Amino acid sequence: MKIAGRKVTAKSIAVYATVIVITAVMLMPFAWMLSASLKLSRDVFVFPIEWIPSQPQWQNYVDIWTKIPLGLFIYNTSKLTIIVTLLQLLTSSFAAYAFAKLDFPYKNTLFLGYIATIAMPWQVYMVPQFLLMREFGLNNTHLALICLQAFTAFGVFLMRQFYMSIPTELCEAARIDGMNEYQIWARIMLPLSKPALSTLTIFTFVTTWNDFLGPMIYLTKTELKTIQIGLRMFISQYSAEYGLIMAASVVALIPVLIVFLSLQRFFVEGVASSGLKG
């Protein structure tokens, strides 16, 4: 069979059909969430599912701003996410440059030791971290979360692997021209690492924006809480307002979609280039 000058085989049809089915299955929860956000709480779990509500409750998207201080929670979450993302981009790229292009004693040992922390679940050391932050007087502050998330072994590993693919001759030529290491990092390495930086931005932004356990442990004041903690306020002692929870969840999803769609071109480029060079 030929379509638009291309030969279509049974194998390609099977591949496309599989991709379509998988995509539909993965998008189904989001479609259900969007549908539930336009229903009354008592209608959310009605079966069979009414995917397009006959009487959409657009008032849900108004009530979520008045029932809880949702605007404040979004501001707090945006503040934490932006600061943590920028700090991780700075610290990860800077450390990765040192591990990839500089020579110093025990470099590989230090790198392996730092990367080994990825294998350790955060739940193992979250209590010592909490005690440490409390001793520093940072409990119930955003600064505690910022300090704990400003460094990431995953980010260093990701950036270091990308920097290893950049020819060392570029750095050597820059040193001959009189550049110091800071200038090489800022003027050569960073401009060439847009795909890796975009990938790290997406991972960091999504992880920080969706973080629930960290803010729950460190933040108890309402004026400091993030949107993930704020969603719990729609759950009372006797019932949960599922329609409002889903409406607020849709609003909380929008910034993540914006960031991903804005950077997905560089993200795909990074994956493709890593595959070619690997």
CATH of the domain at 108: 1.10.3720.10
4 belongs to a structural domain: no
Q: What is the pLDDT of residue 86?
A: 94
Q: What is the pLDDT of residue 274?
A: 45
Q: What is the pLDDT of residue 278?
A: 41
Tens of pLDDT along the chain (278 residues) come to 555 556 667 778 888 889 999 999 998 988 888 888 888 888 888 888 888 888 888 888 888 898 889 889 999 999 999 999 999 999 999 999 989 888 888 888 888 888 888 888 888 888 888 898 888 888 889 999 999 898 888 999 988 888 888 888 888 888 888 888 888 888 888 888 888 888 889 989 999 999 988 898 898 888 899 998 888 888 775 577 888 888 998 999 999 889 888 887 776 665 555 444 44
Q: What is the pLDDT of residue 238?
A: 58
Q: Which residues have a Cβ under 8 Å from the Cβ of 69 and sit 6 or more positions away?
A: 222, 223, 230
Q: Which range of residues forms the domain containing residue 201?
A: 58-277
183 belongs to a structural domain: yes
Side chain identity at residue 270, one-letter code: G
98 belongs to a structural domain: yes
Q: What is the pLDDT of residue 124?
A: 84
48 belongs to a structural domain: no
1 belongs to a structural domain: no
Total number of domains constituting the chain: 1
Q: What is the pLDDT of residue 180?
A: 87
Q: What is the pLDDT of residue 1?
A: 53
d(CA 155, CA 163): 12
* Straight-line distance from the first to the last Cα atom of the chain, in angstroms, rounded to the nearest whole number: 36
Both tokens of 40, joined, read 């009354």
d(CA 242, CA 171): 56
175 belongs to a structural domain: yes
Which one, of 202, 215, 205, lies nearest residue 73 by Cα? 215
In degrees and rounded to multiples of 5, residue 120 shows phi and psi of -95, 120
120 belongs to a structural domain: yes
153 belongs to a structural domain: yes
